[in-house]
Amino acid sequence: MAGVSVQAFRRQGRRYGAGLVCSEMVSCAGIEHRNERTLGYLRVASDEHPLAIQLFGSDPRSMAEAARMVEAAGADLVDLNFGCPVKKVTRTGAGAHLLEDGDCACRIVEAIAEAVELPVTVKLRRGVRNGSRDCLQLGPRLVAAGAQSLTLHPRSAEQMYTGMADHTLTTELVALVDVPVVASGDVTSHARAQAVLAGTGAAAVMVGRGAQGNPWALREIVDGDAREPTREEVAAELVLFVREAVRELGERRASGFLKKFYGWYLGRGRFPKPFKQELLRLESTEEVERRLLAAAPGALELVERLEAEIPTGDEVTLELPISVYGGG
């Protein structure tokens, strides 16, 4: 969910029923070196709670220091990413690499658990290689080191996002540990969520890619409400998301960041394909908003209603240069 789970995405998820939202993964090295863009990820809005901020790194000392800043920023959980399969992360000794370096993984958890009062949680994959069962050996060790919950995405790092998540491993992990286990992977409907929960004994399910540009999936998973959104509802949510992204990232960064979301929102037969391509060619988010409202005139009233319902409480922020919060 790197490059996706910004504050605008998380706040939308809370509105549609997510019980807990999580930041995109944040580099502990970036925090340690006070990188402005990295520190901007520690921005917490009043309507995000409960919120987990997810860290990645390989050095227990710097991870513990980053966790202290996460606590100071107002997060409710410190989540650790021991599952990212991307090479630029694993080659630094972080992410999924830690599935094969259990000693280091446990030292990181122990250091953070000692450094902060917040609960420490860990997200992991089944292992690095296809067929691996490393998660079943590592999971209990992480709990002994101080992890208070585990999230398992039972694909290997080699698989990336291909194939199916093997939730038989989730069932086995649940039986091995005495902390809540969250099941992640291929949870895209109410029926599937119920089946995974009943079949594995997991305490909860995690939804990621299924909610990209599709917050209505959360409503369906949580409540079983499978109504398809109208064109006006789609346009209204996208306009609000655009406005929130610009507020958070600034116009320049938001313009590039938002392009992938246009396809996610407007796909699934909701709008013609040429319309998405038209939005991609526009030079500003103001033009995008005008075009969306022209294509679905009834969306404006919905946008105004949504904005009126969103809490406007101050964000909890660290004392950092203002450029961090204005888009840099």
Q: Which residues are the active-site residues?
A: 84
C-alpha span between 34 and 318 (Å, rounded): 12
The 3-class SS string of 45-110 reads CCCCCCEEEEEECCCHHHHHHHHHHHHHHCCCEEEEEECCCCHHHHCCCCHHHHHHCHHHHHHHHH
Cα-based angle 293, 294, 300 (whole degrees, multiple of 5): 30
45, HSE (Cβ side, Cα atoms, 13 Å): 21
**Helix pair 273-281, 259-266: axis angle to 10 deg:** 160
> Which tokens belong to 72?
């100071």
Q: Do β-strands 120-127 and 149-156 pair in parallel, antiparallel, or remain unpaired?
A: parallel
Residue-level length of the chain: 328
